[in-house]
Chain A
Amino acid sequence: MTAVTAGLAAQLVLALLSSVLTFSVPARARSRVSGISCALISTAGAATGALALAGGRGSLTIPLALPVDPLTLSPDRLGGLFMLVASAVGILVSVYGISYAHGPSASRTSWAALAFFLVGMQLVPAAADAMSFLLMWEVMALASTALLLADHAHGRQVSSATVWYSAMSQLSFLLLLGGFTVLSAAAESTSFSAMRAVSSQSPTASIVFVILILGFGSKAGLVPLHVWLPRAHPEAPSHISAAMSAAMVKMGVYGALLVCIRLLPDGPAWWGVLLLILGGISAMYGILQAAVASDVKKLLAYSTTENVGLIFLGLGASMLLRSYDATAAADVAIIAALFLVVSHAAFKAPLFLGAGSILHATGERNLDRLGGLGRRMPWTGAAFGIASLGAAALPITSGFVAEWMLLQGLIHGARVDGELVSLPVSIAMPLAVAVIALTAGLALLTFVKAYGIAFLARPRSPAAASAHEVPALMRIAPLIGAVAILALGLLPGPVAVALASAIGPEAVMNVRTIGLAGVGLPSIGALLDPVGLLIAAALVAIPVLTIIVVTSKRHPQRVAKLVWGGGGERNNPRMQYTATSYAEPLLRVFDDVLQPSRDVQVTHVDESRYLVQRIKVEQRVSDRVETGLYRPVLSFADRIGVLARRLQNGSIHRYLGYSFAALLVVLVAVSL
C-alpha cells in the first residue's frame, strides 16, 4: 500500500463521498460543501500526481465479473504529470464554482457530475490497461455531458451542443475501443505493458496508430474533429468550460503521447509527418477562427484547438526528428510540447473563468457589447490580462517559454553537428516554424482584441456600463492561475527538468536549470533566463520612471472629458471599433479560407433611389469544416433514415416476405 495507491483509492472514495454529500446537504449549503469536496478530490489527485511524477509507484487493481484482466490503475511519471495538471485545474474550477454555480449549474446532479468528471479526468492518466482507460474515459465523457446540459432550459443551443458533444465523444470512444482492440489482439493482452511488445514497424501498428490518433484527436479538438469544441464550450457553465478546455482536452494529448512514446515508440517517419500536418492545420485554422470570433467563449474554444494543434505539431516534429536520429532536438521538441500542455492549462483556465466572471457581471458573451470592464472589474481584468499575455506567448509568461523551446528544437533539428539529417526534415522544419510564427502572430492579435475590446475603452452596452466586480472566490481562482502563468514563465528551469523526467531519463540530459531558474538546452546551446530579462527591463525602466516621477510633480496628469476624439464631439460609444470590426481586415485577407457570408440590404427613400434610407449589413462566419464535411454526411444519413421507413411500412405480407426470403436463402445456402 504505497502513497500513490492510497492517493488513487482516496480519489475514488472521495468522489463517492462527495456525491453522497451533495445529495444529502440542503440547497443553501450545497455549493459550498460540494465545491469544497470537489476541491478535496482534486487535491488528492494533485498529491498523487506529484508523487507519481516524482517517481513514486503504486497500483490499484479492481477485479471484474468478466474474464478479462482486472482493472489496474498505476500511473507512471507521464501519467503523474497529466494527473497533476488535471487536478490543478480541478482545484481552481471547484473553488470558482462555489461562488459561480447558480441555478441549474448548482443542482445536485451538476455537482455530483462534477465530482465524477474530475475523478474521471484524474484517473485516465493512471490507467495501466485498455479496459480501465476506456472506463475512466467514459466516466469522464458521461459526467461532462451531464454538466454540459445543466442549463438546457435557457440556452437555446444547449440541446444541439449536447448532441454534438456526446456524438463526437462517442466517436472518439469507439475509435479508441477499435484501436485498443486491434492492439490487444496483437499483444494478446489488454495491459499496456504487454502492448509494448507489438513492433511499431508492423502494418498493424500503423493501423492502430491512425485509429487511436483520430480517437484522441477528436477529444483533443484537432481539425477536422474539433466541431464539438466551439459548440460545447460556449454553452457549458463557464467553470465547466474551463475544466473541459484546460484539462479534459489534455487527456486527448495524453492519449497521443501514450501511443507515440509508450505503446508504439519509434514508429516510422510518416507518423511524425501525419501529426505534424494535423497539428499545423489545427493550429492555423483554430487561431484564424478565434481571431474572427466575437463570442468570447467561442474565441477561447477555437484558441484551444490552436494550442492543441501546436502541441501535436511539437509531438510530430519530435517523432520525425527521432526517426532521423536527431535525438537532442527531438527531446527538446517533445519537452516543449509538454511545456505547452502545462502552460495552456495555466492560461486557459483563468481565461475561461474570467469569461465566466464577465458573463456573471454583464450577462454578455458577445465582445461587441462589452468594453471598459478594466476599471469596473480590476481583479478579473488583471487575471484575464495576464492570461491573455500567456496565450499570446509574450515574455515572461509560460507560453513564451514553451514556444521558445519549440522553436529552438525545430531550428536545430534539421542538422546534427553540421550534417543535414534528411531532405524531408529540412523542408518540414521551416514550414513548421512558419506555421508557429503565423499562429503566434494571429494569437497576438486575437488576445489583444479579446482583452482590449472587453476591458479597455468605453462600455458598448448598458450591461457593460453597469458591470460590477465579482465575489471573492471568483476573483481568487483566476488570479491563482495568473500567478501560475508568471511563475512558470519566470522559473521555467525546474519545470522543464521535471517535464523531461516525465518523458524519460535520456531526455533529462538535454535540459537543465541555468542561472536563477532559467532553462538551458545544453545539447543545442541555447538558454533563456526570464528573470535576467526582467531585471534588465527593470534597470532600463528606472530612469524612465524617475523622469516620470520628477516631471509629474510639476506637470500632473489632467483628466478631460474630451481629449481630441477625432476632432469635434466625444462620439457615441457605439462608434468605437468592435471586435467584429477589429478582425475585419484579417477576415478580408483570409477571405478564401474563412469564406464569410455577407448580405447587404439597402433601403432607399421613396423619392429617389439615389438617397439611401437604411443599410443593413449582416456578416456570418461559419465553420467550413462543419458545413463542408459534416453537413453532407448528416443529410445523407437523414435521407437513409427516411428511406428506411419503407422497410417497416406495416404490411404483414411484407414482413412475412422477409421471413420467407430468409428461409429460402438459408435453405439454398445449406443445400449448396
Chain B
Amino acid sequence: MSSVLWIPLLTPIVVAALSALTNWPPLRRLAGVIVSVIVLLSGVTLVIAVTQGQVPTSAGGTLRADALSAYMLTVVGAVGLVSNWGGLKERGADDGKNSGQYAALISLFLGAMSLAVLADNLGAMWVAIEATTIATAFLVGHHRTRRSLEAAWKYVILGSVGIAIAFLGIVLFYAASIEAGTPTLSWVELGNNYLALDPTFVKIAGALAVLGFATKAGLAPMHSWLPDAHSQAPAPVSGLMSGVLLSVALYAILRIQSITDAVLGVEFMRTLLSIGGLLSLAIAAALLIRQRDYKRMLAYSSIEHMGVMALGAAVGPAALPAVLLYMLGHGLIKASLFVIAGRILTVEGTSRIADVRSLLTRRPGLAVLWLIGMAALLGFPPFSIFFSTVDIILAGWASGMAVVMAVALVLMLIIFAGLTRLTASMLFGSAGNDPADSIGSDSPSTDSSSHGPRLPLVLAFVVTAVIAFISTPIGTLLAAATAALAGTQ
C-alpha cells in the first residue's frame, strides 16, 4: 500500500518529461487531466486504506498518509481534474510552441502539491510548496503579455520572500528539536508532547512559519500577490491556484498549528489566525464593494473564503471537519468559476465587469453555470459551503470566539451584498438596453453553448451539492482527519 504514496509523485515527473521532450499533441493537451486523474485515484485508494485503519508510510517515514493527507490528496486530484478538464478548450487557442512547457509545468505543479500533502517532514513540505511557486511562476506568465509578466514578477517575489520567512521558522523548529535532544522535522514527532520543546523557540518558530505559509494561503496582509496572479494566469491555472494551492498552504498552517498547540496551547495560534482571518475578510469586503474586474472579483472572494477557513482553523478541532469540507467545496466551486470566467473572457474579450452586460439573455449557456457557481460560492444550500460556514460560526461561538464571529458575520454581509451587486450587473438586463452592443441590439443573438466541456462543471456542482449529506464515509473520514491533526493517530 505504501507504494501508492509514490504514484502521485512520480507520475507527474514522468508525464512532465514526456510532454516536454516528445512533441505529441494529445499528451500535451491531456497532460493535466491525466495527472489529475492519477492523483485523484491514488488519493481515493489512500482514503480507503486509511479508513481501514492503516497509515501507509514510506521513505523512512518522510512520506506518510494519514486521513488528513489522504483527504488533501483527493482534494488536489479532484480540483485539478475539474480545472484541467474544464479548461481544455479554453487554451485550445494558444497551442503553440510553449504548450509543451505548459503541460510539463502543470504536471509538476500537481506533483509538488501532492508531495506537500504527503510529506511528514516540515522541510520536505516546505520544499514542495516552494516548488509550487517555481512551477506556477511561468504558468502565471504564460500569456507573455506585459500584465501577465508583471503579475508573475509580483507573484514570485512576494511568494518566495514569504516562503523564505516560513523556512526561517522551520529552521527554528529544527533548532528547538535539537535543544530537546532529538533533531527532527517530522511534525508527528514535533507534535508529540514527550518531546519537551522550548516554548520560546516554538513561539517564534510557529509565528514565522505561519506568517510565511499565510503568504501562499493568501491571508491578509500577505495576500497582495493573489488578485494579480489569479486574474492574469490562464483559467485552469487560476482554478488550481485558487482552488487547491491556497488550501495546501492552509494545510501546512494546520500542521504547524498542531505542533504549537501541543507546546503552547491553543490560544497563541488562535489569536494569530483570528487576526489573519478577520483581516482577510475585511480586505475582501473593502475591495469587493467597487470591484471592476470579474477575475479579480473571484480572487478576492478566494481571500474571503480563506479568511473564513482560517477562522475555522482558529477555532480548533471543533470546527476542523467543517474547514476540511470547506476546502473541497470551495476548491471545486472556485475552480469551476475560474474556468467559466476564462470562457467568458474568450468570448467577450474583456474582463471588465462594466463591459459585460446582460449575459443571461445573450449567453445563457455560460450565465446559468455562472449563476449556479455564484450561488454556491455565496453559501446557499444545498452546496457544502453553507454547512461549513454555519458549523464554523456555531463552533466558534461555542468555543468563546463570540466577538470574532460577530465581526465576521458583519463582513460576510458586506461581501455578499457586493458580490450580488456585481453578478447582477454582469448578468441581468435585456441585451437591447445597453449601449455596449449597438448593432443588432433589437435581436440579440443568444448562444446557449457553454464554450467548452460542461460535464466537469456539472460534476463539480453536483458533488458540492450532495457531499454534505453523506455522513458515511465522508463524515467518518473528516472526523479521522481531525483526529490525525490532534495527534491522536
Residues of A within 8 A of B (CB): 62-68, 70, 109, 130-131, 134-135, 138-139, 141-142, 149, 152-154, 156, 158-160, 162-163, 166-167, 170-171, 174, 177-178, 181-182, 184-185, 188, 190, 637-638, 640-642, 644-645, 647-648, 650, 652, 654-656, 658-659, 661-663, 666-667, 669-671
Contact = CB atoms under 8 A, between A and B. Distances in A.
B426 to A, nearest CB: 10
Given A162-B428, A174-B412, A670-B203, A153 B287 contact: no
A174 B380 CA distance: 12
B471 A63 contact: yes
Nearest to B398: A185
Contact of B387 (A66, A154, A181, A640): A66
B211 A658 contact: no
A181 B405 contact: yes
Contact of B290 (A177, A184, A638, A663): A638
Nearest to B386: A138
17 contacts: A65-B384, A66-B322, A67-B321, A135-B381, A154-B430, A163-B417, A177-B390, A177-B409, A181-B397, A182-B397, A184-B394, A185-B402, A640-B286, A641-B289, A655-B158, A655-B224, A662-B211
Contacts of A188: 398
> For B161, B412, B417, which residue has the most chain A Cβ atoms within 10 angstroms?
B417
B391 A658 contact: no
Nearest to B432: A153
A652 B286 contact: no
B470 interface: yes
A380 B224 CA distance: 61
B368 A659 contact: no
A153 B358 contact: yes
Interface string B381-404: 110101110110110011000100
Contact of A666 (B211, B286, B358): B211
Q: Please classify how large the interface on chain B is, using the bins under 10, 10 to 19, 20 to 34, 35 or more.
A: 35 or more
Nearest to B162: A659
A68 B424 contact: no
Given A65-B468, A659-B162, A184 B398 contact: yes
B471 A670 contact: no
A68 B287 contact: no
Given A138-B380, A163-B421, A659-B222, A67 B475 contact: yes
Interface in B160-177: 161-162, 165
Contacts of A185: 394, 397-398, 402
A670 B289 contact: no
B345 interface: no
Contacts of B215: 659
Given A134-B390, A652-B153, 13 more contacts: A63-B471, A67-B475, A138-B380, A152-B430, A153-B361, A166-B420, A174-B413, A181-B393, A182-B402, A184-B398, A640-B289, A641-B418, A666-B211
A104 to B, nearest CB: 9
B297 to A, nearest CB: 13
B224 A190 contact: no
B41 interface: no
Interface of B: 153-154, 157-158, 161-162, 165, 203-204, 207-208, 211, 215, 221-222, 224-225, 227-228, 272, 283, 286-290, 321-322, 325, 358, 360-361, 368, 375, 378, 380-382, 384, 386-388, 390-391, 393-394, 397-398, 402, 405-406, 409, 412-414, 416-418, 420-421, 424-425, 427-431, 433, 467-471, 474-475, 478-479
Given A135-B381, A655-B224, A170 B429 contact: no
Contacts of A131: 387, 390
A65 B287 contact: no
Nearest to A71: B469
Contact of B428 (A63, A159, A650): A159
A65 B467 contact: yes
Given A170-B413, A637-B289, A658 B222 contact: yes
B479 to A, nearest CB: 7
A171 B412 CA distance: 10
Contact of B158 (A163, A171, A652): A652
A661 B165 CA distance: 13
Contacts of B380: 138, 141-142
B221 A661 contact: yes
A670 B211 contact: no
B287 A641 contact: yes
A277 B289 CA distance: 34
B222 A163 contact: no
Contacts of B161: 656, 659
B429 A162 contact: no
Contacts of B470: 65
A160 B467 CA distance: 33
Nearest to B268: A670
B287 A167 contact: no
Contact of A656 (B157, B208, B358, B475): B157
Contact of A62 (B157, B420, B469, B474): B469
A185 B227 CA distance: 37
B475 A66 contact: yes
A260 to B, nearest CB: 23
B221 A662 contact: yes
B386 A135 contact: yes
B381 A170 contact: no
Contacts of B388: 66
A135 B478 CA distance: 21
Contacts of A70: 471
Given A159-B424, A655-B154, A109 B368 contact: yes
Contacts of A670: 203-204, 207
Contacts of A170: 378, 413, 416-417, 420
A64 B471 contact: yes
A170 B419 CA distance: 12
A350 B105 CA distance: 64
B458 to A, nearest CB: 13
A666 B208 contact: yes
- Those 7 A-B pairs whose CB atoms lie nearest each other, nearest first: A641-B289, A655-B224, A644-B286, A641-B290, A63-B471, A152-B428, A159-B428
Given A64-B468, A656-B161, A659-B162, A648 B413 contact: no
Contact of B287 (A162, A648, A654): A648
B469 A65 contact: yes
Contacts of B398: 184-185, 188
Contacts of B360: 152-153
Nearest to A180: B394
A457 B364 CA distance: 45
Contact of B225 (A152, A182, A655): A655
A640 B415 CA distance: 13
A162 B424 contact: yes
B387 A64 contact: yes
A178 B433 CA distance: 41
Contact of B409 (A178, A184, A656, A661): A178
B325 A663 contact: no
A367 to B, nearest CB: 26
Contacts of A671: 204
A180 to B, nearest CB: 8
B287 A644 contact: yes
A217 to B, nearest CB: 16
Given A142-B381, A152-B429, A641-B290, A658 B424 contact: no
> For A67, A166, A652, A655, which residue has the most chain B Cβ atoms within 10 angstroms?
A67
Contacts of A160: 424
A177 B387 contact: no
B322 A659 contact: no
A185 B428 CA distance: 41
A366 B417 CA distance: 30
Contacts of B204: 667, 670-671
B478 A66 contact: yes
B250 to A, nearest CB: 17
A663 B322 CA distance: 29
Contacts of A142: 375, 380-381
A402 B215 CA distance: 62
